[in-house]
Chain A
Amino acid sequence: MKKTFFCEIVLSLSLLLGLSGSLHGEIKVGLALDKGGRDDKSFNAAAFLGATEAQNKLGIKLKTVESSDDISLEPTLRTFAQKQFPLIIAVGFVQKNAVERVAKQFPKAHFVLIDATTDAPNVRSIVFKEHEGSFLVGALSAMASKTHKIGFVGGMDIPMIRRFQLGFESGVKHINPNATVLTNYVGSSSEAWRNPTKAKELALSQYNKGVDVIFSPSGASGLGVFDAAEQMQRLAVGCDSNQNWVKPGLVLTSMLKKVDVAVFKAIELETQSKFQGGIFDLGLSENGVDYSLDEFNRKLISSEMESRIQTIKSDISNKKLKVPDYYLKMKKAKSF
């Protein structure tokens, strides 16, 4: 009785080993998304898009795992490493600690960390100059606004979103120094990334105060802002992914964080055995951030607006126009 049971285990194990053997030849890529999940139509969705594109074009074997809570991130990364995935992509700054710890214990594995930086040599840290992209959509919002009141609904109140906020405000003021920007945050805990109900309430109250464009870098919560825009028939600005299609005609533009491009690139390098660690800070000049223009918002942006934005874009790229960076401001404040 006992013996047969043992045999069964051995048999099934060897069967499974055989199965996993067939996977050889393809590079296994692990994608660990944070709380937002692949359907947040925003940041995680962008990473997922890049990775699936790589799966289709580069013939890699992709495994995506979403995390329902922050503390399961680390075991997820660890399991990827344990299962000898050569490339592991961790999306979201919440994974910073986890990547640091796991990368140290698995020096042979390659990691990509999106939105946060670490010094480990086997980690490719990718961050974006959110303030530059935010400046662009801020400028566009100011051009589109008739009430000269513009809204900002941030997700979680953290330095990164403050960076969005500062860039956005500077963009607005650059076009119209007299415009006012109303600012609210969804919350200060990580629930703030997926609380569209509260984001909608905040957006509604801003619209009721006369705001006619709202920018909302808030992960999945941003969907609530779009709902509010539809209800009030006012404008909203998307974030991270191109969200123009979510409510066509109501989304003025989207501030693009080209996570998909960065993820694809990292996977491509891995397939060519050209993985590179280090910190990559992607701004306008590196084509890491941008604003979106497609058939869904074509009618909202006049050719005059478009040309003004193009000038601003090249000015920023040429360093003729300096966009204030919240991180630098913080650093300065600390050193004083």
Chain B
Amino acid sequence: MKFSFSKKAVIAPLVALAVSASVISLFLVCMGESPSILVEAFTSTFFNSFGLGYTLYYTTPLILTGLSVALSFHAGLFNIGSEGQLHLGAIAIVALSCFFPNLPSFLAVPLGVLVALIFGGIWGMIAGYFKAKRGSHEVIVTILLNFIGIILVNYLILYPFKNTEVQNPETVEIGKGYVLPLLSDFTTLLGSDFFLTTPVNITLFLSIIAAILCYLFLFHTSKGYEIRALGQNPTAAEFNGIAVGANFILVLTLSGALSGLVGVNEVMGYHHKLIEGFSPQYGFTGIAVALIARNHPLGIILSALLFGAIHNGAREIEFLSEKMTKEVSVIMEALIIIIIASQPYFVRLFSKSKKEGAK
């Protein structure tokens, strides 16, 4: 029942990071710029309050979407629908606030979190239902639900909930009671200006708690055990009295709910409204986050931090370099994924050459 980090699980992403950083440095040199830009971008994404604040802000949704993908993966399901699920979660909060704009904080915050969970969950559950009852492949269903969900939410942003006062495609602001404190609000109380002007908010802690709960659920409860058994060997699970369909629905619902929480970070945590195109594909990046962490919920915190830093660091690179734009982050993420995915090949290559060397 124990599940510990193996050394390899930590080393592989680090190697991947080093290799992709070298490739980017090579690009920089080819373009006639100094690769020290990378070092500076790295230091300013971690080692100052502003950079760290933004890194952690991007980390928050990536933890949640990473968990969403990983949880499904443990049941042998590939949830590509995180993007649609997080859209639904986000709009649900706006809708709640439109109906009850003046709720006091102690009601508004838990209710806001709850509707985000529920609506994200429903979007996941639909995919689960089709998988369990109709045998439809969850990849296809979740992809299609992404289209439907995103378009539906954009419609809601542009029409029923639109803020007609402004030109931007965005909804009206949520009520004051729904607003979550920023981390800088706490540091200000302590007389420090750490995290000041950065959007990282207490949803970060919510997502870390979610990761811990996922870990406990998967590896220490009998339901989590059922889900992992199902994912590793569905036939054996079925022979041992584990209900396949019901668990598929449950897992995709939970995955959807986790994605839905992204809405809490974006709407209640920072923007205080929903802006069209608010997610720079957090849902899809979540797949990579889960992959790098090998679907371990606690590992996902670290891999989300890595991807959050890359996302944030890319902007720094754009500022520091003359010719690179922040799309460099896409290259970097892609390289990391390719290297991790081809890891077995490299391991074999490495161990072979080591053996050869010994001879």
Verify whether A and B have any Cβ pair under 8 Å: yes
Chain A positions within 8 Å of B275 at CB level:
70-71
Contact of B276 among A15, A93, A116, A190 (CB under 8 A): A190
A13 surroundings in chain B (CB, below 8 A): 40, 43
The answer to whether the Cβ of A66 comes within 8 Å of any Cβ in the partner chain is yes
- Besides A69-B277, A79-B50, A82-B197, 16 other A-B contacts (C-beta < 8 A): A9-B39, A12-B39, A15-B36, A66-B325, A68-B327, A71-B278, A71-B280, A72-B280, A79-B315, A96-B168, A106-B197, A116-B167, A158-B169, A188-B169, A189-B169, A189-B276
In whole angstroms, how far apart are the Cα atoms of A83 and B275 in the complex?
27
Q: Which residues of B contact A156 (CB under 8 A)?
A: 169
Instruction: List 7 tightest A-B contacts by C-beta distance, closest first.
Output: A93-B167, A158-B167, A105-B197, A188-B158, A69-B280, A189-B276, A70-B277
Within 8 A of A (CB), among B286-314: 312
The residue in chain A whose Cβ has the minimal distance to the Cβ of B57 is A75
Q: Which of B327-350 contact A (CB under 8 A)?
A: 327
Taking the complex as formed, is A49 at the interface, i.e. its CB lies under 8 A from any CB of chain B?
no
Of all chain A residues, the one with the shortest Cβ separation from B281 is: A69
Bound-state CA distance A65–B325 (Å) is: 8
Chain A nearest CB from B319 CB (Å) reads: 6
Question: Interface of B with A (CB < 8 Å)?
Answer: 36, 39-40, 43, 50, 54, 154, 158, 166-170, 196-197, 271, 275-278, 280, 312, 315-316, 318-319, 325-327
The reply to whether the CB of A282 lies closer than 8 angstroms to some CB of chain B is no
The 0/1 profile, CB within 8 Å of B marked 1, for residues 244-274 of chain A is: 0000000000000000000000000000000
Bound CA span A154–B163, Å: 20
Specify the chain B residue showing the minimal Cβ separation from A106: B197
How many angstroms from the CA of A70 to the CA of B275 in the assembled complex? 8
Q: Mark A156-182, 1 if CB is under 8 A from B, else 0.
A: 101110000000000000000000000
A139 to B67, CA, bound (A): 59
**Is B39's CB under 8 angstroms from A78's CB?**
no
Cβ B167 vs Cβ A160 within 8 A: yes
Residue of B nearest to A30 (CB): B319
> A101 — nearest CB in chain B belongs to which residue?
B197
When C-beta atoms are compared, the residue in chain A nearest to B314 turns out to be A72
Least distance between A323 CB and chain B CB atoms (Å): 20
Interface residue A198 (Cβ < 8 Å from any Cβ of B)? no
List the B side residues contacting A71 at CB < 8 Å: 271, 275, 277-278, 280
Interface residues of A in 42-89 (CB under 8 A from B): 63, 65-66, 68-72, 75-76, 78-79, 82-83
* Range class of the A interface residue count: 20 to 34
Q: How far is the CB of B33 from chain A (nearest CB, A)?
A: 12
Contact A12 B280 (CB under 8 A): no
Q: Which residue of B lies closest to A82 (CB)?
A: B50
* CB pair A79 B316 closer than 8 Å: yes
Contacts of A188 in B (CB 8 A): 158, 169
10 residue pairs bridging A and B, Cβ less than 8 Å apart: A16-B40, A70-B275, A70-B277, A71-B277, A71-B278, A79-B319, A94-B168, A96-B166, A188-B158, A190-B169
The residue that A68 contacts in the complex, of B43, B196, B326, with Cβ under 8 A, is B326
B319 touching A65, Cβ below 8 Å: yes
Closest to B280 in A: A69
Q: Which residue of B lies closest to A35 (CB)?
A: B277
User: When the two chains form their complex, are residues A83 and B278 in contact, meaning their CB atoms are under 8 A apart?
Assistant: no
Q: Is A314 an interface residue (CB 8 A)?
A: no
Cross-chain contact of A83 among B167, B280, B319 (Cβ < 8 A)? B319
A318 within 8 A of B: no
Residue among A78, A96, A159 facing the most chain B CB atoms (10 A cut-off): A78
Any chain B CB within 8 A of the CB of A97?
Answer: yes
Q: Which of A63, A82, A105 has the most CB of B within 10 A?
A: A82
Bound CA–CA A65/B167 (angstroms): 22
A16 near B36 (CB under 8 angstroms)? yes
Residue on A with the closest CB to B40? A16
Q: In the assembled complex, how far is the CB of residue A279 from the closest CB belonging to chain B, in whole angstroms?
A: 15
In the complex the two chains form, what is the Cα distance from A13 to B275 in whole Å?
Answer: 38
Residue of B nearest to A105 (CB): B197
Complex Cα gap A287–B201 (Å): 46
Give the docked Cα–Cα distance between A66 and B315 (Å): 10
> In the bound complex, what is the Cα–Cα distance between A181 and B196 (angstroms)?
52
CA distance A188 to B197 in the complex (A): 31
Q: How far is the CB of A66 from chain B (nearest CB, A)?
A: 7
Give Cα distance in the complex from A156 to B276, angstroms: 13
| Given A68-B326, A188-B158, also A12-B36 (CB < 8 A) | yes
Chain B contacts of A9 at CB under 8 A? 39, 43
Tell me the bound Cα distance from A116 to B165 in angstroms. Answer: 12
In Å, the complex CA distance between A79 and B40 comes to 14
Given contacts A71-B275, A71-B280, A79-B316, are A189 and B168 in contact (CB under 8 A)?
Answer: no
Chain A residues within an 8 Å CB radius of B327? 68
For B155, give the chain A residue with the smallest CB separation. A188
Instruction: Check A75/B167 contact, CB under 8 A, given A9-B39, A65-B318, A189-B154.
Output: no
State A16–B37 Cα separation when bound (angstroms). 9
Query: Are B168's CB and A93's CB within 8 A?
Result: yes
**Among candidates A15, A78, A97, A116, residue contacting B197 with C-beta atoms closer than 8 Å:** A78
A70 pairs with B276, CB closer than 8 A: yes
**Chain A nearest CB: distance from B46 CB in Å?**
12
Cα–Cα distance between A188 and B158 once the two chains are bound (Å): 7
| A residues near B158, Cβ cutoff 8 Å | 188-189
Could you tell me the distance in whole angstroms from the C-beta of B268 to the nearest C-beta in chain A? 16
Residues from chain B with Cβ under 8 Å of A96 in the complex: 166-168
CB-CB < 8 A to A65: which residues of B?
318-319
A91 to chain B, nearest CB (A): 14
Docked Cα-Cα span, A71 to B311, in Å, equals 13
CA distance A156 to B168 in the complex (A): 10
Q: Mark A1-35, 1 if CB is under 8 A from B, else 0.
A: 00000000100110110000000000000000000
Instruction: Assess whether A190 is in contact with B277, with CB atoms less than 8 Å apart.
Output: yes
* Closest chain A residue, CB of each to CB of B197: A105
Complexed CA–CA distance, A106 and B197 (Å)? 9
Contacts of A69 in B (CB 8 A): 277, 280
Q: Is the CB of A75 within 8 A of B166?
A: no
Q: When chains A and B are docked, how far (Å) is the Cα of A156 from the Cα of B169?
A: 9
Q: For B312, list chain A residues within 8 Å (CB).
A: 75
Least distance between A99 CB and chain B CB atoms (Å)? 12
Closest beta carbon of chain B to A276's beta carbon, Å:
24
Q: How far is the CA of A78 from the CA of B49 in the complex (A)?
A: 13
